[in-house]
Chains A and B, each alone.
Chain A
Amino acid sequence: MREYYREEDLDRFGEVGKHNPELFRKFMTWYNSALEPGSLTKREKVLIGLAVAHTVQCPYCIDAYTKSCLEEGLGLDHITEAVHVASAVRGGASLIHGIQAHNAVDRLAL
């Protein structure tokens, strides 16, 4: 499984649409619209994108959104804080399930 994620594959994203161009076109239209500035600025949106990229741990998304952050004038401080937010929410999501474990113990234990 050497080089499972190859950098150049990101540029081949369009090939995903080969077997169903209509669905891919719809996805791209929706994706691009979602990233357009609206009530949130472009900068806020790329930071959200970066945080999500780390949560889903997609190497392509991490590269792409890091670059987008830099192009929005954001620096390492901003990037690092966004990754901490993603990690904290993800960590908290695991931790809150401790309640489920406690509930299970309550159900099972004497």
Chain B
Amino acid sequence: MTFLERVRSVRTGPLCAAGIDMLQVNLGYRCNMACKHCHIMAGPARKEVMNADTVSAVLEVLHENRIRTLDITGGAPELNPDFGRLVSESRKMGRHVIVRTNLTVFFEEGMGHLPGFFDEHSVELIASFPYYSETEVDRVRGKGAFEKSIRALGRLNGLGYGNGLSGKRLNLVYNPPGAFLAPPQATLEEDFKSELNRRYDVYFDNLYTFSNVPVGRFREFLVRSGNMGKYMEKLACAFNPETLEGLMCRHLISVDWKGMIYDCDFNQILGLHAGDVPYHILDFDRERLSHRTISVGDHCYACTAGQGST
């Protein structure tokens, strides 16, 4: 059964947005890393980067609309030359700013100021961190990634991040490092906290467990390894209708590096535009976008599996 059919079997009417609480902006696909599971297929060679005019258009939308949260992602969004302006201007407007960081970018040339910058602007950080041991992390993210990530966490902890304080939220994201589903979030969070503290004396606030969406490099891996069929079957079997109400796509819009509007980051990569609504940030129409029909595909099973991934 397709995802669309499954949704129709448990609710009347299509999946629609329920407002816009968050503006998620992808500043580009350039990244200092090239992780094996990256749905963006980000990497150092990618040239797609949001330009200054589009960043200004995003700021204009934030200025004109009472959208509570700006969620900045990439690639490594910090590598965009207008990253600092986007963060500081949004904070001046009183918006809550979340940055999805890979942590290792702190050690790139000219990026050493980032922990202090985040602290100064009370940015909430959501950091990719696939596991609490070096073998698993370096296998997915490249050699040396784990050691750098631990050092980055240490620097953030030194600034008070990850200690339960508002304005210094530091959350980690676990994606299963392979063709299997994530364990229950609470159990794994307990493990991450105790192991990272015991082994490396670093800490964080919350762990989010997300199932990998079969898009980008992860999809390529599934096909190459012969795991695609079984993985999709597993996702579909784990479909939980209770996750539908809280799906992230119902509460945000996603803007790509060109300023095009999508329902989520994954639809962005698949080129699956939001339903019958303006496609570009310059044509932003909050009222229409707030009630749009969400474009869905079978990849959406990843967000509705088990306890959900939002």
Contacts and interface: CB of A to CB of B under 8 A. Distances in A.
Contacts of A70: 176, 178, 180
A75 B176 CA distance: 10
A77 interface: yes
A43 interface: yes
B191 interface: yes
A77 B131 CA distance: 12
A71 B135 contact: no
Interface in B178-219: 178, 180-183, 187-188, 191
Given A70-B176, A71-B181, A43 B187 contact: yes
A75 B131 contact: yes
> Interface SS of chain A: helix, strand, loop or mixed?
helix
A15 interface: no
A43 B136 CA distance: 19
A76 B136 contact: yes
Interface residues of B, number: 14
A72 B183 contact: yes
Contacts of B135: 75-77
Interface in B106-149: 131, 133, 135-136
A25 interface: no
- Size band of the A side of the interface? under 10
A71 B183 contact: yes
A72 B183 CA distance: 5
Contacts of B183: 43, 71-73
Nearest to B132: A75
A13 to B, nearest CB: 15
A84 interface: no
A73 B181 CA distance: 9
A6 to B, nearest CB: 13
Contacts of B136: 75-76
Interface in A1-40: none
Given A76-B135, A77-B133, A71 B180 contact: yes
B212 to A, nearest CB: 12
Contacts of B176: 70-71
A16 B264 CA distance: 45
Which of A43, A71, A76 is most buried by chain B, counting CB atoms within 10 A of its CB?
A71
Interface of B: 131, 133, 135-136, 174, 176, 178, 180-183, 187-188, 191
19 contacts: A43-B183, A43-B187, A67-B180, A70-B176, A70-B178, A71-B176, A71-B181, A71-B182, A71-B183, A73-B174, A73-B182, A73-B183, A73-B187, A73-B191, A76-B133, A76-B135, A76-B136, A77-B133, A77-B135
